[in-house]
Amino acid sequence: MTLETKTDRPQEIETFDVFDLRPEILEGIREAGFRAPSPIQQEAIPLILAGRDVIARAQTGTGKTAAFGLPAMSLVKRTGSVDVLVIVPTRELASQVSDELYRLGRYAGIRTVAVYGGQSIERQVTLIRRGAQVVTATPGRLLDHLKSQRLEGFAPSIVILDEADEMLDMGFLDDIEQIFKYLPEARQTLLFSATLPPAIRQLSKKILKDPISIDVTPKGGAKTNIDITQRYYVLEEREREEALVRLIDTESPTKALIFCRTKKETDMLCTTLVSRGYAASSLHGDMQQRQRNEAIDSFKKGRIDLLIATDVAARGLDINDVTHVFNYHIPFDTESYVHRIGRTGRAGRKGTAITLVTPLEFKKLTRIMHVSGAPLVYEEIPTINEAKRQYQNELMGKLQHQHIQEEAVELLQRLEEEVDLPQIACKALSMLLDRQPVGGPSRIGFSTQEVERMLHRSKRRKGGGGGVKRRSYRPPRTRHHKRSSSN
Ligand code: ADP
Ligand code: MG
């Protein structure tokens, strides 16, 4: 099969009004505050409205949900039975995508239901029977419903696979192939993905008919968003925690996602950060759904500013104002790196992605840089003095905006009888400074020169054409670090 590929980019379109979307859908778009359609939306919307099958690739955070959701909901028949089925990899995405579609479709009277495991089966079935036109489901639970024939007359005319690469990564290929056996032959099928590995193309041959392929990833191979500043820091294993804390303090993120490798590590790091005075919560698959929703909600509403998560739990999460993504450990592969950092810099905002690596992980890092084309730059971890200065600057800002309490005025009058004013001020400031979490050795991590030498070595090895010698890296000079407990 040859894929018809759209290469001729339409001119920049500045409004959604040019599309043949239903007026009620346009109202939803206005209400959501979208002004211009994003590139993937510009290309996908007319094709989907024209009834074509589409295979679409675009980076994360580029508005894929609306790209399929708007035209699909415009085409919905008002019969009161399910007409659009969206299949997504995780529970979190099921509710997130369902909410976004509800928001955009509500003026058109569209009802949406999210269907995923860990939730009452009866309730889901009741909601669907009451006349939902759009169902967003995870593969496992959907297949369960279909196999046990709980959804009579379930025949969506538009079926969308969202975040298809993630679903295959998570091992849902079998489930998806089975699901399609229950779906009507006469249907429109859309496949959306951030990357298109061969397995996805294989799958698309089976389930799509004569599809048009659109690809709006920027040329030059860089798969990551230009709005994200990407930095890495090289350090020793035992410096990881202190380095993270120092970077959090100097970066002062308003919302940061911190990625760990395992559920256990996630919990441990969360406990540490909370005990050091940060508003943090963890997010992973061993938590109950209610707890997971609570953590995400607290993060969204700003009750906590650090969310410590595993890859799986944070997949596809769309939280608009995440300012920072921290890779506490380097991710296993390039795809997860791209997905992780895609949690920031969303919808045109700026973001920062920070990766901590040890010399042993350095090779993995250079591979990620090479494969993704991601522009990662090295930086030294701020010294303790730099971190302190930053803390003090913030303190000064806060002091200037601090509201003065009546009781404080009275207290000052009493104090002034015994101590003079500058002394009182210095004592009060010392009390505040005592609270600063910054601690540890003055310098953490490797210097620019040391890292340059490592980079040089890894280039030389590659250039040599021979196999890479298995030799653990030894830092150029011995480094003595004292651990100090800073609590
Ligand atoms: P993706 O699936 O490509 O990762 P999403 O569909 O989750 O991206 O969209 C990312 C964010 O951008 C969402 O919060 C969405 O509401 C917002 N968004 C989508 N389209 C537009 C648009 N045309 N204008 C402004 N914001 C948009
Ligand atoms: Mg998406």
Residue nearest atom 25 in ligand 1 by C-alpha distance: 34
- Ligand 1 atom nearest the C-alpha of 162 is 2
d(CA 155, CA 186): 9
Looking at residue 338, what is its pLDDT? 85
Which atom of ligand 1 lies closest to the CA of 62? Answer: 3
Residue with CA at minimum distance from ligand 1 atom 15? 63
Give distance in angstroms: CA of 318 to centre of ligand 2: 8
pLDDT for res 271: 95
Residues 233-245 pLDDT 10s: 999 999 999 999 9
Q: Is the confidence at residue 7, as pLDDT, over 50?
A: no
* pLDDT number for residue 218: 63
Q: How does residue 103 score in pLDDT terms, banded at 50, 70 and 90? A: very high
Closest residue by Cα to residue 234 from 66, 55, 365: 365
User: Would the pLDDT of 10 be above 50?
Assistant: no
Class of domain 228-383+441-461: alpha beta
- Which atom of ligand 1 is nearest the CA belonging to 65? 6
**What separation in Å is there between the alpha carbon of 104 and the centre of ligand 1?**
11
What is the band of 225 on the pLDDT scale with cuts at 50, 70, 90? low
Ligand 1 pocket member 315 (CB < 6 A): no
Each residue of 297-348: pLDDT tens digit? 999 999 999 999 998 777 767 787 889 999 999 988 887 888 888 888 877 7
Would you say residue 468 has pLDDT above 60? Answer: no
Three-state secondary structure along the chain? Answer: CCCEECCCCCCCCCCHHHCCCCHHHHHHHHHHCCCCCCHHHHHHHHHHHCCCCEEEECCCCCCHHHHHHHHHHHHCCCCCCCCEEEECCCHHHHHHHHHHHHHHHHHHCCCEEEECCCCCHHHHHHHHHCCCCEEEECHHHHHHHHHCCCCCCCCCCEEEECCHHHHHHCCCHHHHHHHHHCCCCCCEEEEEECCCCHHHHHHHHHHCCCCEEEECCCCCCCCCCCCEEEEEEECCHHHHHHHHHHHHHHHCCCCEEEECCCHHHHHHHHHHHHHCCCCEEEECCCCCHHHHHHHHHHHHHCCCCEEEECHHHHCCCCCCCCCEEEECCCCCCHHHHHHHHCCCCHHHCCEEEEEEECHHHHHHHHHHHHHHCCCEEECCCCCHHHHHHHHHHHHHHHHHHCCCCHHHHHHHHHHHCCCCHHHHHHHHHHHHHCCCCCCCCCCCCCCHHHHHHHHHHHHHHHHCCCCCCCCCCCCCCCCCCCCCCCC
**Are both 4-215 and 228-383+441-461 of the same fold?**
yes
Per-residue pLDDT, 237: 92
User: How far is Cα 106 from Cα 24, in angstroms, rounded to an integer?
Assistant: 8
Of 144-158, 184-198, 213-227, 434-448, the one with minimum mean pLDDT is 213-227
What pLDDT does 3 receive? 43
| pLDDT for 135 | 96
Examine the pLDDT at 479 and tell me if it is beyond 70. no
pLDDT at residue number 224:
62
Average confidence (pLDDT) over 266-292: 90
* Tens-digit pLDDT profile for residues 399-427: 888 889 999 999 999 988 888 888 989 98
pLDDT of residue 454: 81
**215 contacts 9 by C-beta, under 8 angstroms:** no
Q: Is the CATH number 3.40.50.300 carried by domain 4-215? A: yes
Q: Would the CB of 42 count as within 6 Å of ligand 1? A: no
Please tell me which residue, 195 or 352, carries the higher pLDDT value: 352
With a 6 Å cutoff on the Cβ, whether 318 touches ligand 1 is yes
Compare 218 and 265 and report the one with higher pLDDT.
265
| Predicted confidence band of residue 461 (pLDDT cuts 50, 70, 90) | low
pLDDT surpassing 50 at residue 431: yes
For all residues of the chain together, what is the average pLDDT? 84
168-177 CB contacts, 8 Å cutoff, 24+ apart: 168/197, 168/199, 168/200, 168/203, 169/335, 170/89, 170/90, 170/312, 172/89, 172/139, 172/140, 173/199, 173/203, 175/139, 175/140, 175/143, 176/87, 176/139, 176/203, 177/203, 177/206
Closest-CA residue, ligand 1 atom 1, reads 61
Which pTM value belongs to this model?
A: 0.58
**pLDDT of 439 strictly over 80:** no
Nearest atom in ligand 1 to the alpha carbon of residue 60 is 4
Domain boundaries, the chain: 4-215, 228-383+441-461
State mean pLDDT over 351-360.
Answer: 92
Phi, psi of 306 (to 5 degrees): -120, 125
Asked if residue 37 has its Cβ within 6 Å of ligand 1, the reply is yes
Quote the CA–CA distance of 37 and 70 in Å, as a whole number: 11
* Confidence (pLDDT) at 486: 36
